[in-house]
Structure 1
Amino acid sequence: MYCRAILVLSLLQLLCLAYGQLHPTTPARYQKLPSLREQAAILDGWRDERVANIPALLTKYRMDAWLISQREHAEDPLWWSVKYATEYAPHRRTVLLFHTNTSTLAGQPNPLRWVDNTGAVWPELHQVLERYRPHRIALNTDKFIAFSSGLHVGEYEALAEELGERWMERTVNEPMLAIEYVAARVPGQLDYYRDLQEITWALVEEAFSEKVITPGVTTTEDVEWWYREKMLLLNVTTWNHPRVSVITPESFPGWSGTKDIIHEGDLLHVDFGITAMGMNTDVQHMAYVLRTSQGETDAPQGLKEGLKSANKMQDIVLEKMQAGKTGNEVLSESLIEMIDEGIRGQIYCHPIGDYGHAPGAVMGFTNLPYFVPVLGELRILPNTYYSIELYAYSFVPERNETLRFRVEENAYWNATTEQWHFVRGRQERFHLVNARAEYTPTLFVQS
């Protein structure tokens, strides 16, 4: 009987997905993450899986070696994706040499690592290069892409002086090495990423409720700081300060929320994400503050139609996001279909993972709505995560005004279906703040 019930529930969930009903049917719960000690072991396992893919990545881009040189407080962005969980900085000068596991370096540690402040690293590195004789050595010196430009000027000058012309003339800038390495996910991460998504949703659902908001009293800044304090209790952190706003015709996506007292009838918005287990989330959700003093029990229909338009834009983007296309191609195709559907809005999607704004192809920026140089010309990579971030314009008759309906959800690449799927569905109905309702505290659950 239990198995049959599970099967029926699974079939119902599939039907919901098939018909576009992607809003989770049950409230989010605060998932209990592993202890920090357990997390460290998990993170190190993921790190080893990812590093094991570097020789194949070097071969793909016709590189024999990849040299990273960095000092404490001047870390290469790559460091945070190749270090072990209990490492917090590359002490002294830390030099890493990744190789293809061929020739004289076969079976050697990968990467070879030196931690040194005496200069002893240089003769030892010379000896390795003499044995290995790499023809193409990648350096992170790209002038356009941050993840591929982590070699600081001082370190570059030190390399040039110590390695000499013989080896420096073999160095190459190949930005895709860092982009592909940092962006790629390993299978074990997804289950925990689902937990992070549910924690993120649980935070939003609690923040946008009568437990936190008292109309006429609570401010948007109060809610922002509630997020920060609550995250500390959950043993997670964030990569950006939560931005809570009252949406008006003048409000525009930006780097800060508004400074408003929240009232009945307000349309609220939050943009934030959490950081835990070496991964980041990034969501934008909206809430409606019910006019309970007037007996209101649901959001006005005009607001619901606006959210539907934003959901339709999400559908369009996911359909166009085929691996191998450039970000600008996806952006252009999506904008054309939006015109066909009669939808006005803007798209600004980005990769997410080790960083909130991770390496890879982007589809639009708020200030570059039609074409993005460099990052927009990169190709969509499979086996990655993305933030589907955008807004739709929609006229709201009940307010006699046009508003931006701003949404964002995280999606992952499913290698089996070769499609993108939302990690925990998406917002398809407003969070409702009911000042007269009695709330039930959200409980922790064991994942």
Structure 2
Amino acid sequence: MVDYSRHNRGQSIGVALGRSTFHWAWLIVCATSYVNSQLHPVTPARYRTLPSLREQAGILDQWRDERVARIPDLLRKYGADAWLISQREYAEDTIWWSVKSATEYAPHRRTILLFHTNASSIGRAPNPLRWVDNGPGPWNELLGALEILNPKHIAVNIDRDISFGGGLHVGELEEMKAYLGVKWTERFVSEPMIGVEYVAGRVDGMLEYYRMLQETTWALIEEAFSEKVIETGITTTEDVEWWYREKMLTLNVSTWNHPRVSVITPESFPGWSGTKDIIQHGDLLHVDFGITAMGLNTDVQHMAYVLRPEEIDAPEELKEGLKKANRMQDIVLHRMNAGKTGNEVLKECLDDMKEQGIEGQVYSHPIGDWGHSAGAVMGFTNLPKYVPVLGELPILPNTYYSIELYAYHFVPERNETLRFRVEENARWVSEKGGWQFVYGRQERFHLIKPRHGIQEDAFLVQRP
């Protein structure tokens, strides 16, 4: 176990950076590569209004069509001639949610999709071929299509480990075997990267709206972590969580996870739920949540400081902890070269952190169609150095990632080593061959002031 008690003021930013010339070289790399995209936004975030639901549906279907058009090339890349997906209502394949139309909320009866690489064999038939029925008719028509296409390798989603390549339900597989027979089922192959790459892939039109969602996420945090919502000594962390839920309804967005609001202490981690605290002066607060709209998801973690009546800013030692977390973000973005595996990136990040005298943990993941989306991960909270299967996938370009991590920092004023937990969403910038944050990153605490400048009554509890 690491002895975190050895952290002291001697490990401040200036001293740590002075350990070797490596650190100065590192700062130059980060400054030239990312400074324009990583600064804390200068102006307050605004709630952004999305198009009407009808307009959104048209936009979503256009994105889907662009993505589906890539599938034949994906099949060829992974040596498949066809990709067969079958599902029933309430037993959907994971891929269904990324190939359906905007106005479909479930696959009615049984829905069978056959993507293929040989459009000329079926004339003007669409790709995918699609059948919807709850009788034997679709299977018979599928058999006819297979006879014409004659695929040598048919990808089916039966992978044991990867959700985006393992969404075929057991009952559907049994139906396939019964109706298609040995001739075709012996050609089934598991190629999970087809689903992974399809779901991970972004199209250009998404970025404008993803930035809007990111700004709205920041605006929610800025309002929640302010005296507008929090009355010190009265408001609880749970109150703030439910404020988020109610506020999101007014913005016509939803969420993929319940907001988790916590008072940061050495014990408040991993944080599968928030804490149940009355918010007090001097508290360091944390939120982890994301919003969902237009088939896109955000995932953000920010921190706030509750000012004591005599304070106008957060203590310097707390700021140093946030700076360490920002430096870790620089490390991750710099090391996330497309083509490396998640575990390779993770090891390089941990090596760089050690070289710079930073202790903490990286657990970053893809984001997009899902909050935890398709692609390589770099660490889990319970797997800090190596992740089987998902960590061995390659980092894909043309996608989005959540840069999620924490830095340990000893705070002498509190005599505590705290985790400074941050998370921002980044995008692949093809023209630069690297990553940039979509909206910005937190580089200063949200500050919660006493309401109306009135000092709190003396009987209210204050944490040290």
Query: Could you state the TM-score of these two structures normalised by the residue count of structure 2?
Result: 0.90
Which of 39, 44, 47 matches 1:30? Answer: 47
**What is the one-letter code of the residue matched to 2:51?**
P
Q: Is 2:116 aligned against 1:99? A: yes
Structure 2 alignment gaps of length 5 or more? 1-30, 454-464
Q: For the residues of structure 2 that align with 1:377 and 1:324, how far apart are their CA atoms? A: 11
Compute the displacement of 1:108 (Å): 1.8
**What is the one-letter code of the residue matched to 1:342?**
G
| Residue number in structure 2 paired with 1:316 | 331
Which of 282, 291, 310 matches 1:265? Answer: 282
Structure 2 counterparts to residues 254-403 of structure 1, below 5 A: 254-292=271-309, 295-403=310-418
Q: For the residues of structure 2 that align with 1:71 and 1:19, how far apart are their CA atoms? A: 47
Equivalent residue of 2:432, what SS?
coil
Q: Is 2:238 aligned against 1:224? A: no
| Residue number in structure 2 paired with 1:10 | none
Contact 1:242 / 1:273 at 8 angstroms: preserved in 2? yes
Equivalent residue of 1:98, what SS?
strand
Q: For the residues of structure 2 that align with 1:210 and 1:16, how far apart are their CA atoms? A: 36
What do residues 119-146 of structure 1 show as CA deviations (whole Å, max 9, x unaligned)? 1111111111111111110000000101
What's the % identity of the aligned pairs? 72
| Residue number in structure 1 paired with 2:144 | 127
What do residues 256-279 of structure 1 show as CA deviations (whole Å, max 9, x unaligned)? 000000000000000000000000
Compute the displacement of 1:157 (Å): 0.5
Which of 266, 275, 280 matches 1:249? Answer: 266
**What is the one-letter code of the residue matched to 2:63?**
W
**What is the one-letter code of the residue matched to 1:328?**
N
CA 1:21 to 1:347, structure 2 compared with 1: closer, same or farther past 3 Å?
closer
**What is the one-letter code of the residue matched to 1:387?**
S
Contact 1:285 / 1:407 at 8 angstroms: preserved in 2? yes
Q: For the residues of structure 2 that align with 1:74 and 1:53, how far apart are their CA atoms? A: 26
Contact 2:38 / 2:436 at 8 angstroms: preserved in 1? no
CA 1:19 to 1:154, structure 2 compared with 1: closer, same or farther past 3 Å?
closer
| Residue number in structure 2 paired with 1:59 | 76
| Residue number in structure 1 paired with 2:189 | 172
| Residue number in structure 2 paired with 1:426 | 441
Contact 2:84 / 2:112 at 8 angstroms: preserved in 1? yes
Structure 1 alignment gaps of length 5 or more? 1-13, 439-447
Contact 1:302 / 1:396 at 8 angstroms: preserved in 2? yes
Equivalent residue of 1:32, what SS?
coil
**What is the one-letter code of the residue matched to 1:100?**
T
Compute the displacement of 1:102 (Å): 3.8
Query: Could you state the TM-score of these two structures normalised by the residue count of structure 1?
Result: 0.93
| Residue number in structure 1 paired with 2:27 | none
**What is the one-letter code of the residue matched to 1:46?**
W
**What is the one-letter code of the residue matched to 1:229?**
E
Contact 1:101 / 1:108 at 8 angstroms: preserved in 2? no
Compute the displacement of 1:101 (Å): 3.5
Contact 2:254 / 2:291 at 8 angstroms: preserved in 1? yes
**What is the one-letter code of the residue matched to 1:216?**
G
Q: For the residues of structure 1 that align with 2:442 and 2:109, how far apart are their CA atoms? A: 47
Contact 1:324 / 1:380 at 8 angstroms: preserved in 2? yes
Compute the displacement of 1:20 (Å): 7.9
Compute the displacement of 1:296 (Å): 0.6
CA 1:15 to 1:373, structure 2 compared with 1: closer, same or farther past 3 Å?
closer
Compute the displacement of 1:253 (Å): 2.1
RMSD (Å), alpha carbons: 1.4
Contact 1:99 / 1:105 at 8 angstroms: preserved in 2? no
Contact 2:408 / 2:418 at 8 angstroms: preserved in 1? yes
Q: For the residues of structure 1 that align with 2:242 and 2:95, how far apart are their CA atoms? A: 31
**What is the one-letter code of the residue matched to 1:204?**
I
Contact 1:101 / 1:107 at 8 angstroms: preserved in 2? no
Structure 2 counterparts to residues 400-411 of structure 1, below 5 A: 400-411=415-426
CA 1:209 to 1:412, structure 2 compared with 1: closer, same or farther past 3 Å?
same
Q: For the residues of structure 1 that align with 2:35 and 2:300, how far apart are their CA atoms? A: 23
Compute the displacement of 1:100 (Å): 1.1
What do residues 384-406 of structure 1 show as CA deviations (whole Å, max 9, x unaligned)? 00000000000112212110000
| Residue number in structure 1 paired with 2:126 | 109
CA 1:20 to 1:42, structure 2 compared with 1: closer, same or farther past 3 Å?
closer
Compute the displacement of 1:436 (Å): 3.6
**What is the one-letter code of the residue matched to 2:444?**
R
Higher deviation after alignment, 137-146 or 99-108:
99-108
Q: For the residues of structure 2 that align with 1:262 and 1:397, how far apart are their CA atoms? A: 22
What do residues 192-217 of structure 1 show as CA deviations (whole Å, max 9, x unaligned)? 00000000000000000000000000
Equivalent residue of 2:222, what SS?
helix
What do residues 280-333 of structure 1 show as CA deviations (whole Å, max 9, x unaligned)? 0000000000002xx110000000000000000000000000000000000000
CA 1:18 to 1:131, structure 2 compared with 1: closer, same or farther past 3 Å?
same
| Residue number in structure 1 paired with 2:458 | none
**What is the one-letter code of the residue matched to 1:255?**
W
| Residue number in structure 1 paired with 2:457 | none
**What is the one-letter code of the residue matched to 2:141?**
E
CA 1:421 to 1:237, structure 2 compared with 1: closer, same or farther past 3 Å?
same
CA 1:307 to 1:124, structure 2 compared with 1: closer, same or farther past 3 Å?
same
Contact 2:262 / 2:274 at 8 angstroms: preserved in 1? yes
Structure 2 counterparts to residues 5-24 of structure 1, below 5 A: 18=35, 22-24=39-41
Q: For the residues of structure 1 that align with 2:139 and 2:92, how far apart are their CA atoms? A: 19
What do residues 394-446 of structure 1 show as CA deviations (whole Å, max 9, x unaligned)? 011221211000000000000000110000110000000011458xxxxxxxx
